[in-house]
Amino acid sequence: MGEDGKVEVATFACGCFWSKEYFLQQQEGVLSTRVGFTGGHLDHPSYRQVCTKATGHAEAVEVTFDPQKTSFQALAIFFFNMHDPTIDRRSKGGQYRSAIFAHSTSQKKIAEALREQLCTQGYDVVTQIEMASTFWPAEDRHQNYCAVRGFTPELRLTERLA
């Protein structure tokens, strides 16, 4: 943890949360992660309910990190580089949509600036950026899914942002 004992939280959504959690766990300064649902209108949704595409939730990864070892900006850059933020998955119900759920106005401004940087590079970015709402953890069987099952997903990291 930082010298003052403080940690920060970031929440990212960009597809199936199993592999995204795996890759975010590998980032310098990440202390813990958990997968779940956010951005919807049903309290305590289950994975099965979210999969009906009727709750409005996104599958997301909540990341707790040490701000002395990494920054929200570094994690957000990794987020934008680990998936294609130009693919609009909202028409499929939104659970796999690209979104950043900011936990502060500072995080929101950083995320918006990175999205704008990509847009000025010619990318038609569909990533939604909104303030974080309640994060509902997914059932235990979904937590650390890849690590528990010994599965290493493939990462096609791009260098859209440096």
Could you give the 3-state DSSP secondary structure of residue 14? strand
Q: Which residue in 16, 51, 119, 146 is the catalytic one?
A: 16
Tell me how crowded residue 26 is: count the other CB atoms within 10 A of its CB: 10
Residue 111: name the closest of 122, 121, 102, 120 by CA: 102
* Amino acid (one-letter) located at 102: A
Phi-psi region of 53 (alpha: psi -120 to 50; beta: other; left: phi over 0): left
Query: CA angle 64-101-157, nearest 5°?
Result: 75
- What are the Cα distances from residue 67, in Å, to 27, 102, 104, 136, 158? 12, 15, 14, 24, 24
For the question of residue 16 being annotated catalytic, the response is yes
Q: Which residues are catalytic?
A: 16
